Amino acid sequence: MLVTGFDIIFFWVARMVMATTYFVGRRADGSYEPRFAELKDRVPFKTVYINAIVRDAEGQKMSKSKGNTLDPLDLIDGIELEDLVRKSTASLLIPQVREKVEKRIRKEYPDGINAVGTDALRFTFAALATHGRTINFDLKRCEGYKNFCNKLWNAARFVLMNLSEGSGPGTRDPGPGEGQEIAESIDSELGKIEAGIQAIEERAVEAGLSPGPGSRVPGPGSSAERWILTELSRATAEYHAQIAAYRFDLAAQALYDFVWNEYCDWFLELAKPALQGDDEAARASTQHTLLVVLEAVLRLLHPIIPFITEEIWQQVAPRLGKSGATIATQALPQACDFASDEVAAADIDWLKSVLSGLRRIRSEMNINPSKLVPLILEGGDARDRERHARFAAAIAFLARVEPAAMRWLGTGEVAPASATAIVGELKLLIPLLGLIDVDAEIKRLAKEIARLEGEIKKCEGKLGNASFVANAPAAVVEQEKQRIAEFSLTVNGLREQAAKLGG
């Protein structure tokens, strides 16, 4: 396989092919050795991966003579503004443009360039590796993937700290005399996990599901665990499919979406009730699933972000009984390594919709995040009632609902004035009485509606100006239209909310 750029396909790649197909295995008389007799046997490579050309944020080709190049080391380590100015103007071939280049750099990087790290830069280029001919490099993308690396690190700390006290990555080494104390603490925590595993196995035996020979690993005990393993299987399959198609950008995106949206944003939250509860078996099962998924994700991410994954894996792997000097020698996970459970996936999708609806109401109504709220459920079908019965504790814990005030609307009962979220045929009602100052909320909504209506009029004024429409770039005109659509949608929602309150 050859990796190259499209601009030298003829000048370099084609000539390599022509030269090797002519000279390799060629004898003095012009014939070829038997193993090179066929033309296909003399071709130097079967696959050519063509890199896109990296340009600056404005789409201009990077050139030292233009002063618009960026040194990757400056992105990794960061650089002060004055040093960046000196570096960018030192090699200018036309001294007259020095002032222009310096002015642009001071405008675009007023504080210099903050360090993003090697992993974030690697992830950025992986995510930009499309099949296009050019890439417009934007430093903001690096910042986004730096945030991803931070989120992965913090997720690992959360998982490890919920196994034993102070065992997250980045914790200091034990000082003199502390080793024995920490070892005893870890042994104690491992003993608790072992007891939890034993309890799960005893339950399995009672249910006629005896664990396999030599099995000492807790299976996923909750719907949330089975759901995250299903999502991991899907993400792994997508990752391998995109790698095979040389779509490294889509492979990186598949892992980004899974880690950020599913594992960090949802599973870590869904795991908290079990981790903080009194059920030892549930805690042990959840701890094990947290580790299994994290360790698998680290192996999938390692080719893209090798340094942070190596650091975290060194602390995660021993807790799963995995050995090896480095993560680099571990096999990549396959989709078939993780059991899929579509029923559990559907159940958790329902739970996520319920929690999202309730959280949206709290946000829109400015309800204090720490305040417990009542919840009335209306409508729905038998499946909704069954799911509510199973997930009532999780809803109460994660949505800050008062357990004693969570109930179904009685037959013939008229629902009180409530903020409403809808999940399929199910209505989620949060009664407003006592939660907020209704008059103050109506005034707040009216003020926000007036502000947005003013913004809409400004946009309409611009679009009603024939000169503006004729002379402004198409993208600017389209942006104004989009702003009107977004503002109008928000106003309609606020008016509906005000109507619910009697405003």
Q: What is the DSSP string of 418-471?
A: EEEEEETTEEEEEE-TTTS-HHHHHHHHHHHHHHHHHHHHHHHHHHT-HHHHHH
Same domain flag for 461 and 447: yes
Which pLDDT does position 166 carry in this prediction?
41
Residue 389 lies in a domain: yes
What letter represents residue 163's amino acid? L
Residue 361 lies in a domain: yes
CATH of the domain at 494: 1.10.287
CATH of the domain at 196: 1.10.730.10
Dihedral of alpha carbons 349, 352, 357, 363, sign = negative
Which pLDDT does position 154 carry in this prediction?
95
Residue 39 lies in a domain: no
Dihedral pair phi/psi, residue 51, rounded to 5°: -75, 150
Q: Residue 375: how many CB atoms within 10 A of its CB?
A: 25
Residue 243 lies in a domain: yes
pLDDT tens-place string over residues 126-136: 998 887 778 88
Ramachandran quadrant class, 164 (left: phi over 0; alpha: psi -120 to 50; beta: rest):
beta
DSSP letter for each residue of 335-366: GGGS---HHHHHHHHHHHHHHHHHHHHHHHTT
pLDDT tens-place string over residues 231-282: 999 999 999 999 999 999 999 999 999 999 999 999 999 999 999 888 888 8
Residue 407 lies in a domain: yes
State how many domains the chain has. 3
Same domain flag for 313 and 364: no
Residues of the chain below pLDDT 70: 164-219, 436, 497, 501, 503
Same domain flag for 425 and 453: no
Same domain flag for 377 and 311: no
Same domain flag for 235 and 332: yes
Same domain flag for 173 and 258: yes
How far is 342 from 230, CA to CA, in rounded Å? 7
Residue 9 lies in a domain: no
Residue 162 lies in a domain: yes
Q: Which residue range is the domain that position 236 belongs to?
A: 145-340
pLDDT tens-place string over residues 94-105: 777 888 888 888
Tokens describing residue 84? 């960046």
Same domain flag for 331 and 382: no
Same domain flag for 333 and 413: no
Instruction: Give the N- to C-terminal CA distance of the chain in Å, as an integer.
Output: 68
CA distances from 7 to 13, 45, 53, 68, 461 (A): 10, 18, 9, 20, 47
Same domain flag for 317 and 462: no
pLDDT more than 90, % of the chain: 45
Which pLDDT does position 429 carry in this prediction?
87
Q: In whole numbers, what is the pLDDT of the chain averaged over residues?
A: 84
Enumerate the β-bridge partners of residue 55.
Answer: 61, 136
Last residue within a domain, chosen from 406, 431, 456: 431
Beta strands (DSSP E) in 9-87 are 48-51, 53-55
Dihedral of alpha carbons 116, 121, 123, 127, sign = positive
Same domain flag for 188 and 333: yes
Which pLDDT does position 209 carry in this prediction?
40
How far is 310 from 261, CA to CA, in rounded Å? 22
Same domain flag for 278 and 154: yes
Same domain flag for 303 and 184: yes
pLDDT more than 70, % of the chain: 87
How far is 380 from 408, CA to CA, in rounded Å? 10
Which pLDDT does position 199 carry in this prediction?
54
> How many helices (H) and strands (E) are present in the chain, helices listed first?
17, 8
Q: Rounded to 5 degrees, what angle do the CA atoms 258, 260, 262 make?
A: 50
The widest CA-to-CA distance across the chain, in whole angstroms, is 101
How far is 226 from 286, CA to CA, in rounded Å? 10
Contacts of 102 (CB under 8 A, 6+ apart): 85, 88, 89
pLDDT tens-place string over residues 440-489: 778 877 888 899 999 999 999 999 998 888 888 888 899 999 999 988 88
Last residue within a domain, chosen from 322, 340, 358: 340
Last residue within a domain, chosen from 385, 402, 431: 431
Among 254, 301, 284, residue whose Cα is nearest residue 190: 284
Please name the residue ranges forming H helices in 245-304.
248-257, 268-276, 280-301
Q: How many CA atoms lie within 13 A of 297 on its CB side?
A: 31
Tokens describing residue 485? 């659509």
Q: Residue 12: how many CB atoms within 10 A of its CB?
A: 13
Residue 96 lies in a domain: no
